[in-house]
Every structure is written in C-alpha cells, then in structure tokens.
Structure 1
Amino acid sequence: MFLSEKYFNAKKYEEALNNYKNTLRMQEHYTDIEINFLEGKIHEIERPIAYLYYYKNDEKLAIEYYIKALKRKKDYLPALRELIKLTENNDTVETIATFNDLYDRNNLEEMRLLVEELTKQRSGKLLAYYVAHMNSQFGHQDFSMVIMLLANKKYEQAYRQFYEAYKINYENTYARLAVVAALLMNDKVALLNLANLVKPSFKRIIEALVLGNDEVYLYKEDLKDFFDIFSELIKLKEDNYFDCLINLKDNFVDEILGIETAIGNIFKDEGNYDKAVEMYMESIRICQANEQQKKELKSLYFMIGYCYYKCKSMQKALDYFDVAIETGYLENDIREFVTWIIDQTEDGKLKGHAQKLIDQFDNDKLHVLE
C-alpha cells in the first residue's frame, strides 16, 4: 500500500494502479496470524484505484471502484463527491438507482449525508429527487431545498430566499448565492438592490457586472469572491454567463498573475475541458509576451494536452504533449497519458506518434539525470 502511494505521488500511475490492486489481492488471501491494520483501510485503496481508472478514461471501472469504497464506508465523502461528479451526466434514473443501492432511503441520517453532498455539488435533478423524498418521507426541510431551486433553474424563488436569509444574518454565503441567482435572472434591479447591502467586494463585482465596462475597478481583496461566484456558475453549468465573469478579470487594478490559468483550472476540475482550453490558450499568449512567465508554458501545454485527452481528442492531445516535452515538461504523468493513448487507439499513426514521444521523454529525462 505504501509503495502504491509512493508511485502515485511520483505520478507513475500505472505502477500505482498495479500495486494498489496487488494490495487488494494480498489482503483477500491473507491468512497469517499477525495483526493486520489494512482491513479498515480498504476503501482508501479502492478510491485511488477508481481515480486512476478515471485518468485512464475507463469511467465504468472508476464508478465500480467508487461504489465498492462507499459500500465499505458510506460516509467516505471524497469517494462520494467524486462519484457524484462522475455520474452527473449519466441517465438520471440509472444514477438514482445507483445511489438508492448505496444509501437507505428509509434512514434519515444516510439521506442527510447524501443530500448534503448533492447540495455542495449543485446536482440538479438528483438533488430535486432526494430533497422531495426527504420532505415526503421525514417532513425534513433545510437549506438544501433552496439550493435545489437554484440548481433546477428556479432563480426567482431562490433569489427571494437567499435575499431574505442574507438580511437576517448577513452571511456571505447567502450574499454570494443571491448575486448568482440575480445574475441568472438577468435582473439588474435585483443586483443593484443587493449592492446596497453587501460587503464592498460583492458591491464592486455587482457594479462591474451591471455596468458591463471597465469603469468599476476590482482589487486583489475581491479575488476570492470573484472566484467563488465563478465556481457557482460553473457548477450550475450556466455557460451563457461564463464570458461576462471572465471579462471581469480585466477590471482588476492590480496585476493578478496567472488569473487565466486559475480560471482554466476551475473549468478543468468541473470537467468543462473546452472552456479550460480557451483559458489556458489565453494564459499561453500572456506568458509568451512576459519573460518572467515563460517558465509556466510547459505546464500550460501539458494541461491543454490533458484536456484534449479527457475529451478523447487524441491527436490534439499528442500535439500538445509534444510541445510540452519540447519546452521541458518532464513530470512522469505526461508519459503515463501518452502510454494510455497507445492503449486507447487503433490508429497506427497515432500509436507511432505516441511511441516517439515516449522515447523523446525517456531520452530527455535521462539527460537531466546525467
């Protein structure tokens, strides 16, 4: 198990996967008399196996291992969070069946656990189903009901709830969600009403959104709230509003190095690879014009290659992995992804290109070690 973790941290993913699976086989056949602490940690092995299968573009096996981990420990939140993300675009009926098999619909605590994580993920139809079930089965109502309205495009109802909640206790969470709901309502009056109540960073962001120009300045202290609002829109998959938030980065008075990359990372982490690529491309243009930032280029080329790999656009993935290696990217994960492309394609030309990159990587790595 420890060897698996070492391989994982060294980005030698195939070795990590083989050793994690070997750990499970050894545990299954363990018959000695020594105390074995591994018994209670199996779920912590099944989760990285799932994640590695996700890396390999084998979502079916990834889901299988997440389910195994959660069957052993239902409150293992990292696995639950990743399973929700992995299944959110699948057939809703099938996904509900999966979660009904994992969590007892007649157990209030298990339903609370599931609904709390679905709430954090803004999981639309799934959240609506389980919130309705909690209400009908247990008469249970909480904040998840308002998030459910937001996640299912009931923006006006959600806005009223967030607005009233904010006026009662002035929690920044309610302010952020009220801003998001008002923006999605396309209601400038509601936004300006909020601007008179909220803290200065939200006020400046609102005014910049409403005015739609560069006359309102944003500052470094506004950055966290800017990213929090952005993350909400991405989780809610409100593509039509991405550009208006992205454009606000130009309103920052202070130079925010890497803001385009940070936005790209948010898109990538939420599985929106097309928009991630757009932001990484913009970041590359900026880095190419700035001598101090040129060292970031190799990582940006790698991330674009990774995004294309996850979209299964293997030729584009190889093209950008190629440039990443040429510019000095020698982290082992690039070798793993290129190797997996060989496994995932029948195209002889692609296989040849990939093998050439592996040889180039190994050669460059050897020179660095020497």
Structure 2
Amino acid sequence: MKKLEFGIMTFADMAPETIPGKGISAHQRIQNLLEEVKLADELGVDVFGIGEHHREDYSVSSPTTVLAAAAAITKNIKLTSAVSVLSSDDPVRIYQQFATVDLISRGRAEIMAGRGSFIESFPLFGYDLSDYNQLFDEKLELLLAINKSEKVSWSGHLRSPIHNLGVYPRALDGEIPVWLAAGGTPASAIRAAKLKLPLMLAIIGGMPANFVPFIDLYKKTSAENGRSADELQLGINNHVFIGENDEEIADEFFPHYAQMMDRVGKDRGWQPMSREQFEWMRSERGSLMVGSVEKAVNKIVMEHQLFGFTRFMAHSSLGTVPHEMVLKSTELYAKQVIPEVKKRLGIT
C-alpha cells in the first residue's frame, strides 16, 4: 500500500472585522493559528494547509507569510496553501514565495493551486471575471514551467511573456510539490490527470459516495495519459471536528458551524442550516465528520474504501469555534483517530 498521509487545513475563520466587539481580532486569530500548526507538528501530523481569502471574515490573505512563520517554529510537518488562488496572483511571485518558505522549512513547502470558491480577489487585483477559466489555465501552465526550470520562456494571452529569464530563489531540493485543488467539476479531474498532478478534492456537502465518478474520471484519464495507479496521489478533505462525547461535541459545535455556513451561503442562495440538516450531514452517509473519535474513524475508513486516497485533510477550526476546542479536536485527531484509521487499513 502507498504511503498514507494525514493533514489538517484551515481558512483561519474569524468574526468579521467590521463588527465591533465580535469574535477576536486578526492579530489574535493568527497567533492562535500558529499555535495550531505547532501543536499539529508536535503530535506528528503530516501536513498543515492554510487557505487564502480576501474577506473580512478570514484572517489570512497571504498564506506564504503565515507558512513562513510556521516554518520557523515547526520541525517536520509539510506546509501547504489550501489553496493559493492562482488566477488572481502571479505565478512568478507564487513560486518565489513558496521557494522561500521551502528554504526556511528545509524542504517542507508545497503548493495547492486552485481557482478559489470566492471571487473577491478578482476585482481587488484588477482581473476580469469573464477570463476566469483562461486565467487559471495560463497561470497554471506558467507556474509549472517555473517549477520545472530555472530559466523560463513562456507566452500567453492574459499575461506578458517571459523570455529566457531566471526565477529565484530556487526550492531546496528541486521542484516544489504542486497539487491541484478541485470541488468536483469533471474538467478539474481531467486537467489534473493530463498534467500529471496530484488532485485534492473538497467534500463539504452531500454524500461522499456521489463523488466516486469524479475520482474514477481522474484515475481513468491518468491511465490514458500514461500514469499507473501506483503513481497517483489523491487527496480528500472534509469538515472535521472531534470531541470526547458524540452528542456533546455536536451540540457545542453546531451554532458555530451553522453561523459560518449561513454567512457563506447568504451570497449563494443557500437556505439557513437547520439542526436536522446538520444531523443528516454528520450521519453515516453524510460528508460532515463531527462527533466522536469512532464516528470520525468510521467515516475516514469509508472514504478510503470509496476513493483509495493517499492523503486525508481534516478541514478544522471552522467558523468561530473557541481556540481551546480546536486544540482538543487536533489532539484527538492526531492521537486517536489517525492511529485507529491506520490500524483498520492495515498500515503500520
């Protein structure tokens, strides 16, 4: 069996800065986030991912800045974006910043590239949303070219060309691992497979079983492009929160989760989250891994049976959950969930 990695990711949610007296400041949220990364490293978690957003309810707009700070206080954990919004950034700067994180961390940096589930960065940095797809395709092509070669020649339609220029500094040991993040559209599976990139799928709603055709498409297209099953790297991430008692942690977590989902869903036409919907999502067939250690273990094992993933990312510290609860959930995940999943899957 291929090596199986377990990670944690976060968007570093906080109460909107425009609401006086609510939640915690961006300063405090960043301090808490660094404590979360340090704990995950000390507990032996394999990977930590930090998302990029440009909204008042998330504290990280520059993942590489926070990852560099995390690199200086950790020893072993891999450090990745989750995601870098490639379409509204510049591939040269992304590579340079991650190469710097890689040097600080002694080779632990990774890039998770995606189009992002929010669009605030496009007008903020002067990009036209009508170019949404072409921007991503071109910039991904350029990022991969920079990652592969010190000197780059490249031309596209939406960015000025580069003529045999060097991009520095370079990563410590060759290329930086680049993952492609996806939400389930067939085009994303095909793109990742044709480019021979690891794929990370976010499952934040519905039933995991419904994503089997998407993963099958990735595997089938990869095979058609000359990659064996043993070469594939496939990641899955779910919303995860773990407590000692199944019902008690559900009761404590629900208000924070519903508030976050309602805030995000308001602009997308979602109905307010009910307790009944929440309970269905955390039931055996649902995607939400909230509850006891046993519940989380069962669901992760079930998803491994569905997808055969090589990396599982627990999307934690969701909404405005108190910091102490986040640390406790992290501890249970690292000390109890991961070892039991490995045991059930026959991994030493």
Q: One fold, TM greater than 0.5?
A: no
TM-score, structure 2 normalization:
0.30
Q: Whose relative contact order is higher, 1 or 2, with alpha carbons under 8 Å and at least 6 apart?
A: 2
Q: More helix per residue: 1 or 2? A: 1
Structure with bigger gyration radius: 1
